[in-house]
Amino acid sequence: MKSRLAFLAALPLLAAAAPNRPPLPDLVPMALVGSGQQVTIRIGNRGTAPAPAGFVSVVVGAPINIVHNYAEPALAPGEIKSVIIPVGKPLAGVTITVRVDGTGAIPESNEQNNIKQATGN
């Protein structure tokens, strides 16, 4: 019983030691489809703060070989929007890789979930 009381007494100290983290966005590529001659990316904000507009980096592999940043919309927490990129060439069998916040300019709560890859059809 004594150790239980000591643990309960320490709880306010543990709470005080936790760092105050500001709310941050968390941009995630929810879906990636390369179909026909266009790439469609569904981008979501899983964070607790709005994400400003930025750039999504798109790499379309051989034989097309495109590497370019495209406009990424601002997103409120929980919001999902699509970005459609016309490529002008058939994407069947071509590897497509996207990175939301492609320039790394937006501080996020999780920077490790920004990349998605797919094969065009």
Query: What token pair was written down for 25?
Result: 């966005």
H or E element in which residue 118 lies: strand 115-119
The pairing of strands 95-99 and 54-60 is antiparallel
Report the topology of domain 23-119: Immunoglobulin-like (2.60.40)
Q: Give the model confidence (pLDDT) of 93-113 as tens digits.
A: 999 999 999 999 999 999 999
User: What pTM was computed for the model?
Assistant: 0.82
State the Cα–Cα distance between residues 4 and 7, nearest whole angstrom: 5
- For a pLDDT cut of 70, what percent of the chain falls above it? 84
